[in-house]
Amino acid sequence: MLFRDLVELCSKLEKTTSRTEKVLYIAEFLKKLDLSEVKPAVWFLTGRIFPDYEDRKLDIGWATVSKVLKSLKSTGRLLAKPMTILELHRALLKISLVEGEGSRRKKERLLLSILSSMTPNEMEYFLRILFGEVRVGAADGLVLDAIGKVAGVDEDTVRRAYMFIADIGELAETALAKGAKGLRNATLQLFRPVRPMLAEMSYDIRSTIRELGGIAAFEYKYDGIRLQIHRKGNEIKVYTRRLTDVTNSLPDVVEIARNIRADEYVIDCEALSFKDGKPVRFQDLVKRIRRKYDVRRMVKEIPLEIRAFDLLYLNGKVLVDLPYAERWSLLEKIVDEEYLAKRIVTGDPNEAKRFLEESEKEGHEGLMAKKLDSPYTPGIRGKYWFKIKPAQTIDCVIIAAEWGHGRRRGWLSDYHLAVLDEDSGEFVMVGKTFKGLTDDEFEDMTKRLLGLKIGERGHIVYVKPRIVVEIAFNEIQRSPKYKSGLALRFARITRIRYDKSPYDVTTLSELKRLYEKQFEKKSRIEE
């Protein structure tokens, strides 16, 4: 199939507003694909080039693209033969593999040959994919529905299969190759990391206990790095929440994993480090992740420990459907106490409150409250886990930045913050901030943002939505100015979340829920 056919589908999708029709178009398209091209076709369609968990970059910025476009215009090249989806994907893979001396020129040449095979319309879609706009052809939700349709299974089955298969391209391939059975049988496998289970925000302990059925487990919420450890005999792999394999950067974690008393397991945990008895702050911890050089020095400087809190697999058995309380008692048997999350089980709000104070006094973030009979639901922010922390924050992605004045001159320092509108797949702006970063961080951020630049207007630089920041704010207000309809008042960055992908940011519907929640404590006059 040609890339051109995929672009045609995207234009067709843009022309209709009917969800059913869109799903139908995508399903028809999927059925026409050759098995070997399903993965790249679905990645392109959903605005990806490689699977989410692959740490692969094209390293092509705005400057390179505009240079190549210019040279294409000036040479007035004739249109080269249109590329198939597979050819285009192979060409992009090749670009990602170019390294070393002269790599810039090589990348430019490869990009030129890609672009010269495209009509202006195709180019537009291609550039959208290249610059990582989430909204290219279809939001993930539509493609998931289409996959369900192709395989003849309901929404829940597709979503459950997606938790375990984790890559939307591979999910589509499984549906097309193995049909309904393939999706129904999808389950956790060793060395195939799953998306971690997520938590809802809790507003107060008493109502959270009620919501969880009158009694709950409370665990320390550590301000560390989420890791998933897989082991089979001597083989141990460690993955981040973005499912990237970071085993080689974390020999100390591997060592701890080796001493866990089971031959085969998948453990969910938080990694953290202590200095002078106090937990090391998050921004220092992330230095350990994906570190490829000087690993030994870093291990000495910031030695990691783990706090395990869940067990997903043990000696040949997938445990995700077992109640959490049972998973915990198996976990307790194989992990030494020092490496387990601190935990109590109670229905008494005062006891939970005291435990929260203890956690904060020791320098941790707060508590997690967990439902005792809940399954492990990968990738889902369900009503089984609640996070209790004093400072409420959301996660936003930076979509643009403004050049600073005065003391901040020379830095991109005023950041446009966006959340994900999961219906349209777009990132929508909710505020701006220049607060919260140190000078060094401004410096570093400016460099990173310039590397992600996709355009500029006046003093505003537009960037690929890549960098996730945690944002504290005083209030959420209605806003006619922003398309999202909401604005954050006194937004400030509390940290840069290099461990999160733009798909992990707060969604617009979550923000709307938070907006409404405010009025449980405050009354409103407007509306």
Q: How does strand 381-388 pair with strand 198-201? A: parallel
Binding of ligand ATP by 112 (CB under 6 A): no
Which range touches ligand ATP (CB under 6 A), out of 53-61, 221-229, 298-306, 350-358? 221-229
Q: What's the rounded Cα separation, in Å, for the pair 224 and 282? A: 6
Binding of ligand ATP by 387 (CB under 6 A): yes
Q: Minimal CA–CA distance to 186: which of 206, 156, 227? A: 156
- Residue closer to ligand ATP (CB basis): 247 or 501: 501
Place of tokens 């993965």: 39
> Is position 221 annotated as part of the catalytic site?
yes
Binding of ligand ATP by 219 (CB under 6 A): yes
Which range touches ligand ATP (CB under 6 A), out of 95-103, 184-192, 216-224, 443-451? 216-224
How many residues in the chain? Answer: 527
Q: How many residues bind ligand ATP (CB under 6 A)?
A: 15
Helices (H) and strands (E) in the chain, counts: 18, 21
Q: Number of C-alpha atoms within 13 angstroms, CB side, residue 523?
A: 1
- Residue closer to ligand ATP (CB basis): 322 or 461: 322
The residue from 114, 266, 311, 368 that contacts ligand ATP (CB under 6 A) is 368
* Contact code string over 333-362 relative to ligand ATP, x by CB under 6 A: --------x---------------------
Binding of ligand ATP by 383 (CB under 6 A): no
Which range touches ligand ATP (CB under 6 A), out of 54-62, 191-199, 434-442, 451-459? 191-199
Burial zone of 511 (CB within 10 Å; 0-12 exposed, 13-18 middle, 19+ buried)? buried
- Tally Cβ neighbours within 10 Å of residue 57: 10
Burial zone of 196 (CB within 10 Å; 0-12 exposed, 13-18 middle, 19+ buried)? buried
Binding of ligand ATP by 253 (CB under 6 A): no
Binding of ligand ATP by 133 (CB under 6 A): no
281-320 positions binding ligand ATP, by CB under 6 A: 309
Alpha helices in 131-220 (DSSP H): 140-151, 155-165, 168-184, 205-211
Q: Minimal CA–CA distance to 218: which of 369, 326, 373, 383? A: 369
Query: Which is catalytic among the residues 39, 107, 221, 500?
Result: 221
Binding of ligand ATP by 270 (CB under 6 A): yes
Nearest approach, Cβ of 268 to ligand ATP (angstroms)?
A: 7
478-495 as b/e: b if 16+ CB within 10 A:
ebeebebebbbeebbbeb
Binding of ligand ATP by 1 (CB under 6 A): no
Can you give the binding site for ligand ATP, defined by CB under 6 A? Answer: 196, 198-199, 219-222, 226, 270, 309, 341, 368, 387, 395, 470
Which residues are known to be catalytic? 221
